[in-house]
Structure 1
């Protein structure tokens, strides 16, 4: 199906009917009386298709249903709305002038939701900050985005203090504190909610949500994106079996585009959202079983950590209520996907998304059984092209640059920059290939390609070869400067246990499977790979090789 933005009037009608069918099938659109229908219409008039709208819709649809469960208990949808109203009023009275944005540095708990919704109530941007930021990164982003108000968990007080000198007049609000009764230097979100309970801010159009790119190679950029509306949601529901008014565990970081997406979808469908401040692999399984969850949203490294648990631990959990485990954010190790499905059933869905482009493709369990490393087929409403450096379409099976055109539009970075485009398609920055059945395989980033002695090497194929070794827990391959070859390959490998691997054996294994120029000259054994909070490897933090 063509993208709704490029369709004829008849095509748009077909798209709307198709979207409605999937929204009804998933029970996202539930039968309700005239008063609730009128309430929904009022909410749409007030908020429009915004990320916070789903929370208001669920409070109208089922106000007394449990909307959120976290480390401190449960909240109904009505209570979530009341807390957001009260916090918005409290935040508006802080500082010398009303806030122009709300920066949020919180883990997965009610405080993140409170601040995110409050920003929407105030009509200002909500800036979602990575909990894995260093102090300089935090200061850089706050300064660039001109954020003068930050809501943060107490554990990040040191980072915020380091940034304070660069942000004159920074207003600080503590979200999660261990002891609410203790005297705090700054106001707390719970204190503001208590002080303004029952109050509501003026109704305004919600401000945009600013999502940050991963920043694995530099300072993260803020991305503005217009959502594709019901059609984009329906494209996901067509593949992944979400149902309204069920329970979903959101383990993925909510500041990340994928975690935020899972949060917003769950809220829009009135699903009870189960959060835990810090990820723990066994605790995630326990939450899903205890709450009879039908879905789990995570990032790939979380699924891998779950499958690294001892068999005697995994045997305690059944996940028989779970219909889907949806993952996105980085490449998934095929062996971990297969092991998970062998134990818990064919329930894994792998999504290929981009902060700038939204949802691109989804691999179903059947796709992953066929090829555990596939990103699946493009979702309805999204078109994918693969082209060479001259912009010509490449044959099936060959690697090319991934171009995208979909239901949502990228509105540019907050710096004023934007993504390159070609013939009406956005240049993703990724490279990949398509198989005969239309499945997409993402090989890596366009700028990840290593040119060694005039030969092009994509790290992922070397990583796959090394990952075949039984004693390899995880691996990343990068290019390093070399006087003779321009670049050479360096492999950073985490063994399953100390002393389990020999670098020469790793090189010999690759040489037996790939061309000689793809054999890494350097093999560095590490206890763990440096990752950011969303699970992506941060290449600049890898140790230098001689």
Structure 2
């Protein structure tokens, strides 16, 4: 019995932290009374799988076996079905991942990557989540560096296969029509459902960095130490048990994986669509009565760009939470989105390396639309100067954060700078008098122009707030006279009419001389990667063209 209570303490945390975790999870419906036989089955599943992806679906198959776990374009899979299918898939993959090789997943959002991640965890095999926007050359490099022995990919990415290592095993996930290749569905239907032995190790999910400034690096995501990390997020983003969650953020991205992990804790239904389309997203919210949505900011921008006649024909009364992360949320976008959809927007600031740092609620965003919010319980945030000491309140400095889910390092052996247990986010920020965090920009984005420190994000936000502007990005470029200068890249709305001189006139009086963009380049749209982040090197190429 003492072992049970020790495990319980590890699951919830000790002392007041454990009580807070239990309170939040009970409030959101994650913890509720159960029949003794069901509780026993859950305890046995917990002893078998630990805090890992299979546990959430095993618990779901006990508590709500018939509830849909995943809904995609092919239909729904219940918790009981997904639990059994992943056991079959694990048996089918067992002899196809030799030694210490890993499973690579090159898939869009559908049940295939979900089942692969859970099956790999049942085997104790690491999973590398591959960005669908990788070039063949990048894919070759990542597969070699990450020791991928088996690649699970959607049929649309088969064109990469002839250029990949000959000994790389491959299984198709999403297919259209017939194929001669082995498929996940074939493995699931032809493999036994026999119980698997407890894995010798917990599998890790390896997420690639965005690669906007170079080759993507692999970041090892840790196992949650218990339920405290989920409670930390839920204390600020009030997701409830049984949510219907539209996951628009890619599952290969940290934010998509966060939706997957939180969803399994909540016993949620994940509504997935392979490619983001703003109108399809709104129709899915109405059709499936989604109560929450996980997205990246550019997706929210695309929804607002829909003509009113299209946007308003879909109901969204059930939608309580729109959780945004993955890149900076422009202040103007936050204001316009809440004006259109009500006080539903939550903005999580974090990264692949540090997980979460702070969360802005709808109330925070109404009071200060540019804020990244406040750190949730159990998270420490400090603003440090170059010497590592805290700066005065309100002054900009380097953002350092600590929580239960800091990454374990890059797979190449490097890591992020750590001071007093807190990890650098790579961003600059400030904390105002109310305790709200504001991100000024990336450390490597700050430029020195004419001897002045200039933060591109200030200029970017000012331009993005103009009514004619759809989106904007500002970067620093070399300048013979001032050392560096700012260049602005602007996409206008369909009815927008603006030229470079009028744009600069609008900025005069709002920005310092050195924060004014010397170059203004108008584009149809900003170049973005598959996670919605702007790619600076492509902007620079447009300027030099």
Query: Could you report, residue by residue, the CA deviation over 1:413-466 in whole angstroms, capped at 9, with x for unpaired residues?
Result: 111111111222211111111111100011111111112222211111000111
Q: Which residue of 2 aligns with 1:175?
A: 173
Question: 1:382 Cα shift?
Answer: 0.6
Query: Could you report, residue by residue, the CA deviation over 1:288-311 in whole angstroms, capped at 9, with x for unpaired residues?
Result: 122122111111111111111111
Q: Mapping of 1:478-517 within 5 angstroms? A: 478-497=475-494, 500-517=497-514
Between 1:121-130 and 1:50-59, the stretch displaced more is 50-59
Q: Which residue of 1 aligns with 2:193?
A: 198
Is 1:225–2:221 an aligned residue pair?
A: yes
Question: 1:317 Cα shift?
Answer: 2.3
In 2: Cα distance, 1:183 partner to 1:124 partner: 27
| 1:334 paired residue among 322, 328, 331 | 331
Q: Which residue of 2 aligns with 1:150?
A: 151
Q: Which residue of 2 aligns with 1:32?
A: 34
DSSP 3-state at the match of 2:139? helix
Q: Is the CA contact (8 Å cut-off) linking 2:53 and 2:117 kept in structure 1? A: no
Question: 1:52 Cα shift?
Answer: 3.8
DSSP 3-state at the match of 2:444? helix
Q: Which residue of 2 aligns with 1:211?
A: 207
Q: Is the CA contact (8 Å cut-off) linking 2:401 and 2:424 kept in structure 1? A: yes
Q: Is the CA contact (8 Å cut-off) linking 2:468 and 2:496 kept in structure 1? A: no
TM-score, L = length of structure 1: 0.93
Q: Which residue of 1 aligns with 2:406?
A: 409
DSSP 3-state at the match of 1:378? coil
Is 1:189–2:190 an aligned residue pair?
A: no
Q: Is the CA contact (8 Å cut-off) linking 2:87 and 2:196 kept in structure 1? A: yes
In 2: Cα distance, 1:292 partner to 1:498 partner: 33
Q: Is the CA contact (8 Å cut-off) linking 1:241 and 1:323 kept in structure 2? A: no
Q: Which residue of 1 aligns with 2:55?
A: 53
Q: Is the CA contact (8 Å cut-off) linking 1:148 and 1:170 kept in structure 2? A: yes
DSSP 3-state at the match of 1:19? helix
TM-score, L = length of structure 2: 0.94
DSSP 3-state at the match of 2:303? helix
Instruction: Structure 2: state its 5+ residue gaps.
Output: 1-12
Q: Is the CA contact (8 Å cut-off) linking 2:211 and 2:217 kept in structure 1? A: yes
Between 1:192-201 and 1:41-50, the stretch displaced more is 192-201
Question: 1:168 Cα shift?
Answer: 4.4
Q: Is the CA contact (8 Å cut-off) linking 2:491 and 2:526 kept in structure 1? A: yes
DSSP 3-state at the match of 1:54? helix
Q: Is the CA contact (8 Å cut-off) linking 2:53 and 2:264 kept in structure 1? A: no
DSSP 3-state at the match of 1:337? helix
Query: Could you report, residue by residue, the CA deviation over 1:486-535 in whole angstroms, capped at 9, with x for unpaired residues?
Result: 22211111111388221222222223321111111111111111111111
Instruction: Structure 1: state its 5+ residue gaps.
Output: 1-10
Q: Mapping of 1:24-423 within 5 angstroms? A: 24-94=26-96, 97=98, 100-162=101-163, 164=164, 167-179=165-177, 182-184=178-180, 186-204=181-199, 205-226=201-222, 227-423=224-420
Q: Is the CA contact (8 Å cut-off) linking 2:108 and 2:250 kept in structure 1? A: yes
Question: 1:343 Cα shift?
Answer: 2.4
In 1: Cα distance, 2:481 partner to 2:159 partner: 45
In 2: Cα distance, 1:174 partner to 1:132 partner: 18
- C-alpha change, 1:243 and 1:303, in structure 2 (3 Å) is same
In 1: Cα distance, 2:52 partner to 2:115 partner: 16
DSSP 3-state at the match of 2:323? strand
Query: Could you report, residue by residue, the CA deviation over 1:462-490 in whole angstroms, capped at 9, with x for unpaired residues?
Result: 00111132211111111112233222211
Question: 1:138 Cα shift?
Answer: 1.3
Q: Is the CA contact (8 Å cut-off) linking 1:104 and 1:150 kept in structure 2? A: yes
In 2: Cα distance, 1:94 partner to 1:425 partner: 40
Q: Is the CA contact (8 Å cut-off) linking 2:104 and 2:130 kept in structure 1? A: yes
In 2: Cα distance, 1:417 partner to 1:521 partner: 37
In 1: Cα distance, 2:504 partner to 2:53 partner: 48
How many residues in Structure 1 have an aligned counterpart in Structure 2?
529
DSSP 3-state at the match of 2:326? coil
- C-alpha change, 1:133 and 1:61, in structure 2 (3 Å) is same
Between 1:291-300 and 1:334-343, the stretch displaced more is 334-343
Is 1:473–2:439 an aligned residue pair?
A: no
Q: Which residue of 2 aligns with 1:3?
A: none
Query: Could you report, residue by residue, the CA deviation over 1:236-258 in whole angstroms, capped at 9, with x for unpaired residues?
Result: 11111211123111111111111
Q: Is the CA contact (8 Å cut-off) linking 2:149 and 2:168 kept in structure 1? A: yes
> Could you say what the CA RMSD is over the residues aligned between the two structures, in angstroms?
1.7
User: Relative contact order (C-alpha < 8 Å, sep 6+): which is higher?
Assistant: 1
| 1:444 paired residue among 424, 428, 441 | 441
DSSP 3-state at the match of 1:411? coil
Q: Is the CA contact (8 Å cut-off) linking 1:449 and 1:459 kept in structure 2? A: yes
In 1: Cα distance, 2:271 partner to 2:328 partner: 25
Q: Which residue of 2 aligns with 1:7?
A: none
In 1: Cα distance, 2:43 partner to 2:496 partner: 64
Q: Which residue of 1 aligns with 2:5?
A: none
In 2: Cα distance, 1:448 partner to 1:532 partner: 18
Q: Is the CA contact (8 Å cut-off) linking 1:225 and 1:357 kept in structure 2? A: no
Question: 1:219 Cα shift?
Answer: 1.3
DSSP 3-state at the match of 2:58? helix
